[in-house]
Structure 1
């Protein structure tokens, strides 16, 4: 069934054409990725699909059975709105009922068991039964549990970017939709949450269209790529690797076309240069064709640009950390840590949100001072810090002026000199944007402009805090290639697993308790090793528990009575069986289980957990009696 169709669609922004005469459709079960360079119109197209914005031309047809749910790139919330308010805003009667139930059970969990509250609780459970809301309650609770959103009454404006995005995901995924629209869903999320979301979407049969720069995400779950390129839309069947193969074929065809264009241009140039008198009365169309061909050649040149900058040599001493420690509000962020950096190191910082990764970068760059220890920087060490606040630029300043403010000409590593306009061209900025106010370019274009400014300072030690946020795939690929050849040091924080794998060869692992450990290898190497270690620990714990039980059995000096003996024998089997059930349920929860077929699943899970605790207590009691 077709859900949305667009036909001959045109979209412009600030007089700049983004998409022209485009057509495509979304059907039930489609898994679509929308890609394109920053400012190409991806977010604008999503807003047209949802009806938030209107196209300049063309039609958007929506099926009457269409139910949309979406996650915006920057989720909007009201002043003073709590997590619970945000998730259940504009709720259906079912969702409103679940909201009341969640709020009530939280009060009860904090010890409020008044008669009035219990009466209301029984009334709510009856209503939940009548409206068949238990499946929805189970789905929402599984999301909240998985994404660790436990403080429902925390205000949205007090949350980190990652927690805001998690709340937006719960809100969107809890809806009864048949088309999900996701604009940069992985931005600000930590890697475990991204992996959970990827796993969840891979198991759903509902349609989605998303914008993301996460190539492992694209590779793992998308089955069609829709690309916006030079105001046109191109469609590719398959995942990201298939897209790359098919695009290479298309570009090969384009290159052959460009070769023909070059030949035609030479002939047309001779004709143009004959002057107005010689061309009097000639075909006007021929002059127009010449300039159209020139535009096509310029577009091809822009698409093959690459990053480049100058480089100042590092000295013998680069940077040494000597037992540095840092705490905030009496909370330890970083325990004493020492390290001596060497030329050419490319280090990734990995760990949960809030574990101190950004603090670590701020300490190295001297934006913060350590509470303990010494940071010893070499005389020739010059930092370039691409932080998360870099898009806060003067909106009235023109794009080109932002660079000329730094320098009128730039000298590159090969000795060549570039003007700011030539540099913008090299960094994929179309000429139409050179004199555009910064406030009128996209967030991704602002990030790219900020990146240029940093590289122009000729750093030899680069620090990146979430560099992949808002950058397009083409820019990321170019940046990766640049960093792979960069002779200085690189330290980066990123939730982009592909980026970490391509750029880094060593990891600093933050455990969230202030400790930092090292791992030699890229992110995937670390992930595989960490998984092996956790599996081994789990097996060791099971073995230890089994040995403890056996020891208690063998050392028991007296026999239990017949009834107690039977109970002790059966209770171990019961515990093992229940632990197996709990483990299975937790696997289902982590894959986004929505409880649609088992409305009491979450209640069953909680009851089982409580019962296992009781069984363990009883087992210990019997074992102690038997031992005594």
Structure 2
């Protein structure tokens, strides 16, 4: 068994110490989620494992052939390189061979009559056969397809930032490393890609160390949790749910110092155990569950007071935003099309949908920062708006943290009339006294976002617009925000792709489907995604069935038209049988797991889902194999 031993890892910047004497072991098969507040050094620690010179001290013990593959937050890819070249950028002989073959194939397809290109292509084909590289090539293309990358000849510089990150993720996954280090791997992935990645990493034969704010993903993938706090790493066995239980137990032991954390983790744990179905119920039912929790903690009356962001709010009338016949477009890109909608007091609206469909633009229009082409948005007279944008605004880097917040207000009144100073608010949001005296320029990106969020709340809004609030915020800060929103008496409109956040906060959804098409749903976001995915698969299956029937009909009408396979079809036919055999083996294993009484309900449901998908894929490949086989 291959292991990686880290000891005496430390990092300091001037007088600030991120962590010191960090020591842990990563065993083969571990899938470790790394947690910690923004600014504690999670990414710095990951960087240091790969490039030891980035840290002040670190000792690493590992086998000589131990291989690490790292997905950075900001991947470095050659803008002039093609997707396929970037993905197969490894130094291994098979990778080089596949890269050469793919380039030769592209040239051959452009000019198949060139004798020199033909000779080069067929020689590489023989080398691919000898190296048995076809399966690896097929697996890699499957990974790229799952991640939404289909244009393999496109240059990296022509891709969006999200697409480039997905290419970098594919490059990391195919490396066959002993340890995958992944910094926010779910960024820029849709639900289907995240679901696939969960399954892929859960079965990965090596080890995985990852940072994520996606708590569903963390719960499904992690077998251990490392928490970076108090300048060191604390280890927990199990997934996110088990981590929450252990944290709650630990905080009970240290209740005199940590009552507010006990409340936080118990609320999170209760939410995790509610299940997806329960998360889809009405908002009041969820509030009742949290009220039950409060009764359980009556023997600790100070806990709730310490943890709550109990800011008094301005009175809000029933009418918040009255949108009538709104139209908005940029060139040929339609954002709103004759859109009418009434936003009322107490609404909790999650706004989601495809990238580029206009969700942020919609918030800008509501905030009166962007005029409509036609129609109107009438804002209620009592609305006091707080807009948390994706980009931090109006923060002077040369200002100290405490002075910045005091410039917004010397403090706030709580609902009971008591006063909370700016310093106390900062303390609630995990800014200790040393950080309160720091310059804003000294904060990490995540710490700046946390301070920006606090500044929005300090202004005591009764309507909140939140644009991707989970980006660059750590899980603990997100939980504080979610608990605040649970007691918030105003209206919330939140743009997000985070399943956990939307399930917990939103009572209804507006789904932007592009070109002005907006769907309303009262499902939880997870339930909506599951239904949408099922509908998409059903539609795909229907299209495939129709194509299959059309092919059969054409074959019946013209049985003698096709005499033999083209070269491309012959290549395709040669690859089909190994794929079908591999699927048969995987289906056999899944059936075995379905009959295993030790597997729990969630595991059985996951196995059945995978079996259905693989059965469908196998049927389609068999149909294709039978069709091509008749011309052999």
TM-score norm. by structure 1 comes to 0.76
Shift, 1:331, TM fit: 3.0
The corresponding residue for 1:436 is 438
The corresponding residue for 1:405 is 407
Q: Distance in 1 between matches of 2:377 and 2:585?
A: 44
Pairing of 1:81-480 with structure 2 (within 5 A): 82-84=82-84, 86-89=86-89, 91-106=91-106, 114-152=114-152, 154-156=154-156, 159-255=159-255, 305-390=307-392, 393-480=395-482
Where does structure 1 lack aligned partners over 5 or more consecutive residues? 260-299, 554-558, 565-577, 592-603, 619-628
Residue-by-residue CA offset, 1:295-328 (whole Å, 9 max, x unaligned): xxxxx99996443434222234311222323333
Shift, 1:544, TM fit: 8.1
Q: Distance in 1 between matches of 2:407 and 2:80?
A: 40
**1:7–1:487: structure 2 CA closer, same or farther, 3 Å change rule?**
same
**1:44–1:531: structure 2 CA closer, same or farther, 3 Å change rule?**
closer
Does the CA contact (< 8 Å) of 2:77 and 2:168 recur in 1? no
Does the CA contact (< 8 Å) of 1:322 and 1:338 recur in 2? yes
**1:62–1:508: structure 2 CA closer, same or farther, 3 Å change rule?**
same
**1:226–1:453: structure 2 CA closer, same or farther, 3 Å change rule?**
same
Does the CA contact (< 8 Å) of 2:180 and 2:209 recur in 1? yes
**1:141–1:364: structure 2 CA closer, same or farther, 3 Å change rule?**
same
Pairing of 1:441-590 with structure 2 (within 5 A): 441-531=443-533, 533-534=535-536
Residue-by-residue CA offset, 1:168-219 (whole Å, 9 max, x unaligned): 1111012121100011112333333222211211222220011111111111
The corresponding residue for 2:66 is 66
**1:324–1:67: structure 2 CA closer, same or farther, 3 Å change rule?**
same
The one of the two structures with greater contact order (alpha-carbon pairs below 8 A, sep at least 6) is 1
Q: Distance in 2 between matches of 1:325 and 1:560?
A: 50
Q: Distance in 1 between matches of 2:97 and 2:376?
A: 56
Does the CA contact (< 8 Å) of 1:36 and 1:42 recur in 2? yes
Does the CA contact (< 8 Å) of 1:189 and 1:495 recur in 2? no
Secondary structure of the residue aligned to 1:96 is helix
Q: Distance in 2 between matches of 1:169 and 1:400?
A: 39
Does the CA contact (< 8 Å) of 1:302 and 1:428 recur in 2? no
Q: Distance in 2 between matches of 1:609 and 1:171?
A: 32
Residue-by-residue CA offset, 1:224-273 (whole Å, 9 max, x unaligned): 111122223221111111111111111112226889xxxxxxxxxxxxxx
Shift, 1:513, TM fit: 4.6
- Do residues 18 (structure 1) and 24 (structure 2) align? no
Q: Distance in 1 between matches of 2:487 and 2:204?
A: 41
Shift, 1:587, TM fit: 13
Residue-by-residue CA offset, 1:127-151 (whole Å, 9 max, x unaligned): 3334443233222211222222233
Q: Distance in 2 between matches of 1:582 and 1:341?
A: 52
Secondary structure of the residue aligned to 1:25 is strand
Shift, 1:482, TM fit: 0.9
**1:80–1:170: structure 2 CA closer, same or farther, 3 Å change rule?**
same
Shift, 1:448, TM fit: 0.3
**1:588–1:185: structure 2 CA closer, same or farther, 3 Å change rule?**
farther
Does the CA contact (< 8 Å) of 1:302 and 1:425 recur in 2? no
How many correspondences in the alignment?
Answer: 545
Secondary structure of the residue aligned to 2:344 is coil
Secondary structure of the residue aligned to 1:338 is strand
Does the CA contact (< 8 Å) of 1:462 and 1:489 recur in 2? yes
Q: Distance in 2 between matches of 1:107 and 1:368?
A: 48
Where does structure 2 lack aligned partners over 5 or more consecutive residues? 260-301, 561-575, 591-617
Structure 1 or 2, whichever has the larger Rg, is: 1
Does the CA contact (< 8 Å) of 2:465 and 2:492 recur in 1? yes
Residue-by-residue CA offset, 1:332-351 (whole Å, 9 max, x unaligned): 34433221111111111222
Residue-by-residue CA offset, 1:518-544 (whole Å, 9 max, x unaligned): 111211232343355456657877998
**1:115–1:542: structure 2 CA closer, same or farther, 3 Å change rule?**
closer
Does the CA contact (< 8 Å) of 1:178 and 1:206 recur in 2? yes
The corresponding residue for 1:7 is 7
Secondary structure of the residue aligned to 2:5 is strand
Does the CA contact (< 8 Å) of 2:223 and 2:239 recur in 1? yes
Shift, 1:545, TM fit: 8.8
**Segment of structure 1 superposing worse, 393-402 or 449-458:** 393-402
Q: Distance in 2 between matches of 1:306 and 1:585?
A: 52
The corresponding residue for 1:594 is none
Q: Distance in 1 between matches of 2:550 and 2:203?
A: 40
Q: Distance in 2 between matches of 1:155 and 1:543?
A: 35
Does the CA contact (< 8 Å) of 1:332 and 1:513 recur in 2? yes
Residue-by-residue CA offset, 1:571-597 (whole Å, 9 max, x unaligned): xxxxxxx99x889969989x9xxxxxx
Secondary structure of the residue aligned to 1:341 is strand
Residue-by-residue CA offset, 1:16-55 (whole Å, 9 max, x unaligned): 2222333210011111111111112211221222224454
Q: Distance in 2 between matches of 1:146 and 1:539?
A: 17
**Segment of structure 1 superposing worse, 75-84 or 103-112:** 103-112
Shift, 1:615, TM fit: 10
Residue-by-residue CA offset, 1:276-306 (whole Å, 9 max, x unaligned): xxxxxxxxxxxxxxxxxxxxxxxx9999644
Does the CA contact (< 8 Å) of 2:112 and 2:118 recur in 1? no
Shift, 1:63, TM fit: 2.4
The corresponding residue for 2:606 is none
Does the CA contact (< 8 Å) of 2:52 and 2:58 recur in 1? no
Secondary structure of the residue aligned to 2:430 is coil
Secondary structure of the residue aligned to 1:322 is strand
Does the CA contact (< 8 Å) of 1:302 and 1:426 recur in 2? no
The corresponding residue for 1:623 is none
Q: Distance in 2 between matches of 1:138 and 1:546?
A: 23
Does the CA contact (< 8 Å) of 1:14 and 1:440 recur in 2? no
RMSD, aligned α-carbons: 4.1
Does the CA contact (< 8 Å) of 1:318 and 1:342 recur in 2? yes
